[in-house]
């Protein structure tokens, strides 16, 4: 692979990528153009909930592509109506706006909260978000994010996103004032290294926001669509938020996202929100195929059971190598490495044909397909065990 066979330079260089070109995927495996096979525990960043190129999605896309691609967002289409109805039937929300990416869904959530503030709270516009949070890469969602690396970028930021500390209710209370309209959080901070909000904190946040007439926005772009063993993470805490965003898994590999709101919070008027591809039937057909499979009770039970297996295997590995805690829920887990060795582990795993992610220098994140097999988890653990063994031996020698 080189510049002659692949014109790498024609793409903007927005991140460091290994010099491999992927050509095919099936289930938990990816193949590059040399025929090398990789066991995938990244799955497009927690996107491919049914694994690579699942027949259910491929068939739905093929069938829909022969019927209708895009009539125009100014007209109704069947799959978007059907998917919106299915999502509202399965959640505490009443209405849906479809988007093409998580950031766009969150941008919509921010606009919806500001609209609500304009209509019902004398123009209140501040949205309390959290240190360490990640909500996307548009200007407003970068401003809502609490990612340190974003702080110096693209100044001036969009105003109105004071930051509280996760699992610290007093830090939220301190930020509430007459300009506050909402609190926005990821139930598990994924990009920060898989840091869960406790169920207790989520319940207290719900009570606090209700008491102050504030909207509670959950960003379930990573935790939603079965990732944690329930269809939506907020169900674990037994709360009903006002607004939720979904992305990643909702399309199972195609660009689809959604903004959901209760009827009280759903206050867009004509002209406030829209977009050329929003709710196009092709992507919504994929979303319906995903929801049909992931939403089945047996499927969600199996995600919870497989998640416990992954967690216990990671705990055994951690104990064997003197590493730190395992944290997360369902099939979103992190292993604390106690040392900044994550990048070298990821690089060695890649060479060994295993795809892992390091959200932080001292943590690995695991986000396999929701239908990952136990033997695939065992294969990943064996590979990681061998790498950690070699690294440990190297450190002892040094
Ligand atoms: C919690 C969360 N919110 C928002 C986003 C942004 O989604 P997208 O990359 O589809 O814009 C991500 C992506 O990683 C995410 O994990």
| pLDDT (tens digit per residue) in 17-37 | 998 999 999 999 999 999 999
Mean pLDDT of 283-293: 98
- The CB density around residue 69, as the number of other CB atoms within 10 Å, is 13
The residue whose CA is least distant from atom 3 of ligand 1 is 135
Residue 2 confidence (pLDDT) above 60 = no
Which residues, 6+ apart, have CB-to-CB distance to 181 below 8 Å? 113, 114, 116, 117, 121, 124, 125, 126, 127, 214, 215
Mean pLDDT of 45-72: 98
Say how far apart CA 52 and CA 32 lie, in whole Å. Answer: 13
Quote the pLDDT of residue 80.
Answer: 98
Q: Separation of 104 CA from ligand 1 center, angstroms?
A: 9
Q: Separation of 116 CA from ligand 1 center, angstroms?
A: 23
Quote the pLDDT of residue 7.
Answer: 84
pLDDT digits (tens, 9 = 90+) for 181-211: 999 999 999 999 999 999 999 999 999 999 9
Q: Separation of 170 CA from ligand 1 center, angstroms?
A: 27
Q: What is the pTM of this model?
A: 0.97
Q: Closest Cα to residue 368, out of 318, 324, 306, 313? A: 306
Mean pLDDT of 71-75: 95
From the alpha carbon of 137, which atom of ligand 1 is closest? 11
Mean pLDDT of 337-364: 97
- The CB density around residue 123, as the number of other CB atoms within 10 Å, is 12
The tokens for 57 are: 């999605």
Q: Separation of 68 CA from ligand 1 center, angstroms?
A: 28
Could you write out the DSSP letters of every residue in 223-245? TTTTTTSSSSGGGGGT---SEEE
Pocket test for ligand 1, best of 135, 243, 277 (most atoms within 8 A of CB): 135
The residue whose CA is least distant from atom 4 of ligand 1 is 135
């Amino acid at each position: 692979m080189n510049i002659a066979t692949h014109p790498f330079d024609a793409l903007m260089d927005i991140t460091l990528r290994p010099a491999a070109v992927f050509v095919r995927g099936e289930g938990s495996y990816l193949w590059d153009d040399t025929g090398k096979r990789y066991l995938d525990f990244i799955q497009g960043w927690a996107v491919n909930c049914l694994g690579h190129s699942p027949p259910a999605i491929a068939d739905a896309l093929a069938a829909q592509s022969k019927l209708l691609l895009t009539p125009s967002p100014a007209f109704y289409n069947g799959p978007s109506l059907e998917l919106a109805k299915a999502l509202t039937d399965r959640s505490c929300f009443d209405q849906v706006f479809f988007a093409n990416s998580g950031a766009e869904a969150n941008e919509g959530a921010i606009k919806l909260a500001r609209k609500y503030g304009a209509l019902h709270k004398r123009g209140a516009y501040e949205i309390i978000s959290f240190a360490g949070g990640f909500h996307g890469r548009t200007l407003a969602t970068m401003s809502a994010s609490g990612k340190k690396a974003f702080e110096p970028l693209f100044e001036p930021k969009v105003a109105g996103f004071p930051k509280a500390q996760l699992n610290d209710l007093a830090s939220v209370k301190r930020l509430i004032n007459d300009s506050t309209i909402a609190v926005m959080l990821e139930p598990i901070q994924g990009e920060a290294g898989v840091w869960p909000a406790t169920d207790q904190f989520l319940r207290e946040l719900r009570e606090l926001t209700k008491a102050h007439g504030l909207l509670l926005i959950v960003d379930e772009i990573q935790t939603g669509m079965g990732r944690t063993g329930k269809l939506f993470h907020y169900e674990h805490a037994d709360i009903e938020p006002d607004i939720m965003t979904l992305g990643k898994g909702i399309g199972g590999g195609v660009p689809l996202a959604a903004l959901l709101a209760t009827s009280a919070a759903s206050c867009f008027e004509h002209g406030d929100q829209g977009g050329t591809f929003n709710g196009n039937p092709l992507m919504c057909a994929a979303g319906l195929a995903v929801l049909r499979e992931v939403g089945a009770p047996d499927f969600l039970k199996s995600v919870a059971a497989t998640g416990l297996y992954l967690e216990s295997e990671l705990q055994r590995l951690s104990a064997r190598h003197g590493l730190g805690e395992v944290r997360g829920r369902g099939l979103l887990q992190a292993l604390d490495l106690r040392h900044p060795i994550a990048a070298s582990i990821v690089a060695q795993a890649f060479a060994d044909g295993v795809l892992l992610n390091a959200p932080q220098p001292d943590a690995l994140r695991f986000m396999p397909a929701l239908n990952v097999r136990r033997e695939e988890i065992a294969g990943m653990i064996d590979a990681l065990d061998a790498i950690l063994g070699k690294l440990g031996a190297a450190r002892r020698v040094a």
